[in-house]
A and B are shown apart, each in its own frame.
Chain A
């Protein structure tokens, strides 16, 4: 089955710097890769996702890149702000079947210092 590894587990940056979180997956059939953000004490919420037919997707200050050959994908946050402080989860699944199981990474706790 699918296994998703996420690094680093914690990340501390200064406000305005960039942050990069990386995930690797094991199942070459996986073709859908969402990222969820969980602020302290709140629920995880989808912030961006990408399908395997696309190498990069951007939404304002966040972007996700995918390397299918190497089986890894990354979240990039530019011009970080204190409100970006949260736990970020990557996930992967093969959404071509009737049941599409999302496998989550262990999470990255991002701290943005003013």
Chain B
């Protein structure tokens, strides 16, 4: 089954403790992206990747890192999480970046709480 898999689904952590949220897709998509969803703010892009070893900042990249060593994986790293990073995170992928006939496929989301 074609899918984007995120782990974990839920994560509670403390300020400053490094964490990684994994994202993997099995559709051979070139484009992958991370979003955070906050009430009243919609989906805001954190980082994106056009292909292996190519990553770039989105609209809200501060406090996050990503890597794209393999086509299928795009982990999101929070080196020193803070409470303002408490949010619902979605990984997404598509054949190419945001175009007709190339819809975004989202993962199931990771609800992160930083205390």
Residues of chain A touching chain B, judged by Cβ–Cβ distance below 8 Å, are: 6, 9, 32, 34, 36, 42-46, 49, 51, 89, 91, 93, 95, 98-102, 104-107
Question: B residues touching A (Cβ–Cβ < 8 Å)?
Answer: 40-45, 48, 50, 56, 58, 90, 96-100, 103-104, 106-109
Verify B90–A44 contact, CB threshold 8 A: yes
Rounded to whole Å, the gap between the CB of B41 and the closest CB of chain A is 6
Choice from B41, B104, B107, B108 contacting A102 with Cβ under 8 Å: B104
The answer to whether A104 touches B96 (Cβ under 8 A) is no
Q: Which residues of B contact A46 (CB under 8 A)?
A: 103-104
Known interface pairs A89-B43, A100-B97; A43-B103 also in contact (CB < 8 Å): no
Give Cα A98 to B106, complex, Å. 21
Residues of B within 8 A of A89 (CB): 42-43
A sample of 6 inter-chain contacts (CB < 8 A) reads A43-B109, A93-B99, A95-B99, A95-B100, A101-B98, A107-B43
A residues less than 8 Å from B99 (CB atoms): 32, 93, 95, 100
Q: Establish whether residues A42 and B45, one from each chain, have CB atoms under 8 Å apart when the complex forms.
A: no
Beta-carbon contact of A101 and B97 below 8 Å: yes
Please, how many angstroms separate the alpha-carbon atoms of A99 and B42 in the complex? 21
Most A-side CB within 10 Å, residue of B42, B48, B50, B56: B42
- A90→B1 CA distance, assembly (Å): 27
List 19 extra interface pairs beyond A44-B106, A89-B42, CB under 8 A.
Answer: A34-B103, A34-B104, A36-B104, A43-B90, A43-B106, A44-B104, A46-B104, A49-B103, A93-B98, A95-B99, A95-B100, A98-B50, A99-B97, A101-B48, A104-B43, A104-B44, A105-B42, A107-B42, A107-B43
